Amino acid sequence: MEEEQLAYNSDSGEEHVDIDAMSDDGGAQVGWIKWFCSLEGHEFLTEIDEDFIKDQFNLYGLQATFPKDKFKTCVKMILSPLAPNEEDLADEHFLELNQEASDLYGLIHSRYINTPRGIAKIYQKFLSGVYGYCPRALCDKQKVLPVGLSDSLKTSRFKVFCPRCEEVYLPKFRNVNIDGAYFGTSFPHVFLKHYPEAVILPPKIYLYEPKIYGFKICGKRGSKYHKPAEGTIKYVEDSLTGIDKEKLYKEFKSQNKENSGSQQQQQTATADSARGVQTQLKNLNLGAEQSTKTQINFNQASQNPSTTRKDGNEDSEASVINQGGKNKKKNKKNKNRQ
């Protein structure tokens, strides 16, 4: 590590913080990472390897969230082999820089715990129950995992995720003030991909029967009039054995098949009936058109009877005149012959 001195200048430009002089009192040297993770409430965090922090690829994109003059100073503080002493913690400017370094360490921590080495460290804490247990009774003290509801800083405090009921709860330790971005939103799901069998517990049988002074309640569990709830209820499935679950799943599948078959039959029946109705309507429309046409012709004929009679008289008169002319011509020809 370079021995050059980096200072954090205040707004006035006069005061500065000497990082290389931190805890230079001749005692045992404890790095900043160990000191930070040993603080009260920070036992949930893991110690990040220095090689991971020194790799610039792992810090890509984090410089945008911090000022340029503070970013390098914070990295140097995190990698410092010395821990701050009481004089350093009494300095306001040092505390401001230390808060910036803590946030940077948290963002790096959220990336580190998604690596195989980081997941292995969290797994050891998980087995020892550092993060607590699920408060839900049916989960039977299932161990929980840390999770954040946002990947950005200063949005919400970290929560705990139960891999059995898949719900998020407030941590049991209310005095712990750790940002949710220190763990991120993806860590529990990445952890379960690596250790699926170590988290999910086998189902247990719960045969609680409600009673009043030793007497069973009508309609409740244990009573002969009890009717179990129907449908896919999540909390009921937790109290069943594997054989009972298989029976339920088979019943649900058979019911779904029957429902789908009846629905198809209903659909075909409705389609056939709709076609028959359409053909009947077409026939009715054609009959109505023909009846209207005949009615119109009948109405026209009934309204103008005189015109039809005149036309008939004129035709008869014209035929009589033609016959008379033809007779006259025949008489003239006969006279001429004589």
pLDDT number for residue 313? 53
Last residue of a domain, one of 194, 221, 239: 194
Does the pLDDT value for residue 133 go beyond 80? yes
Pairwise CA distance, residues 65 & 151, whole Å: 12
**Run of H or E residues at 215:** strand 215-216
Does the pLDDT value for residue 79 go beyond 80? yes
**Higher per-residue confidence, 315 vs 263:** 263
4, 30: one domain: yes
Average pLDDT over residues 280-287: 67
Does the pLDDT value for residue 324 go beyond 70? no
Q: Is residue 263 part of a domain?
A: no
Does the pLDDT value for residue 17 go beyond 80? no
Last residue of a domain, one of 194, 225, 258: 194
CATH number of the domain within which 175 lies: 2.20.25.20
Beta partners for residue 216, in sequence order:
211
6, 108: one domain: yes
Whether 80 and 29 have beta carbons less than 8 Å apart is answered as no
124, 108: one domain: no
Cβ neighbourhood burial of 36 (10 Å; 0-12, 13-18, 19+): buried
Does the pLDDT value for residue 108 go beyond 80? yes
The count of C-alpha atoms lying within 13 angstroms of the C-alpha of 70, restricted to the half-sphere facing its C-beta, is: 19
DSSP state letters, 10-65:
-SSSS---BSTTTT-SSS----HHHHHHTSTT-TTS-PPPHHHHH-GGGGTT-GGG
Q: Is residue 312 part of a domain?
A: no
Lowest mean pLDDT among 150-164, 204-218, 238-252, 262-276: 238-252
Average pLDDT over residues 67-78: 86
pLDDT number for residue 89? 82
189, 126: one domain: yes
How many CB atoms are located within 10 Å of the residue 126 CB?
Answer: 19
pLDDT grade for 239, boundaries at 50, 70 and 90: very low
Cβ neighbourhood burial of 231 (10 Å; 0-12, 13-18, 19+): exposed
Does the pLDDT value for residue 105 go beyond 70? yes
pLDDT number for residue 223? 82
69, 165: one domain: no
12, 105: one domain: yes
- Phi, psi values for residue 215, rounded to 5°: -100, 135
Q: How far is CA 239 from CA 204, 205, 218, in A?
A: 6, 5, 21
Q: Is residue 223 part of a domain?
A: no
**Higher per-residue confidence, 265 vs 330:** 265
Last residue of a domain, one of 167, 194, 221: 194
Alpha helices in 143-241 (DSSP H): 187-194, 234-237
Look up residue 320 and give its amino acid: V
**Higher per-residue confidence, 338 vs 252:** 252
What is the extent of the structural domain holding 43? 1-112
Cβ neighbourhood burial of 84 (10 Å; 0-12, 13-18, 19+): buried
DSSP state letters, 252-292:
HHHHHHHHHHHHHHHHHHHHHHHHHHHHHHHHHHHHHHHHH
Q: Is residue 45 part of a domain?
A: yes
pLDDT number for residue 321? 55
pLDDT number for residue 11? 39
Q: If you average pLDDT over every residue of the chain, what do you get? A: 74
156, 128: one domain: yes
Beta partners for residue 185, in sequence order:
none
Q: Is residue 145 part of a domain?
A: yes
81, 125: one domain: no
Lowest mean pLDDT among 49-53, 150-154, 165-169, 244-248: 244-248
Number of domains in the chain: 2
pLDDT number for residue 237? 45
**Higher per-residue confidence, 11 vs 39:** 39
8, 107: one domain: yes
Q: Is residue 25 part of a domain?
A: yes
Q: Is residue 10 part of a domain?
A: yes
10, 105: one domain: yes
Q: Tell me the two tokens of residue 22.
A: 């931190």
pLDDT number for residue 249? 65
Average pLDDT over residues 182-198: 88
Whether 146 and 121 have beta carbons less than 8 Å apart is answered as no
Does the pLDDT value for residue 288 go beyond 70? no
Nearest to 44 by CA among 134, 109, 111, 102: 109
Q: Is residue 174 part of a domain?
A: yes
Does the pLDDT value for residue 90 go beyond 90? no
Pairwise CA distance, residues 156 & 165, whole Å: 22
Which pTM does this prediction carry? 0.55
Looking at the chain, how many residues does it have? 338
pLDDT number for residue 187? 92
Which range has highest mean pLDDT (10-24, 127-141, 242-256, 285-299)? 127-141
pLDDT number for residue 6? 41
CATH number of the domain within which 45 lies: 1.10.1820.10
**Higher per-residue confidence, 208 vs 230:** 208
pLDDT number for residue 120? 92
Does the pLDDT value for residue 266 go beyond 60? yes
107, 1: one domain: yes
31, 95: one domain: yes
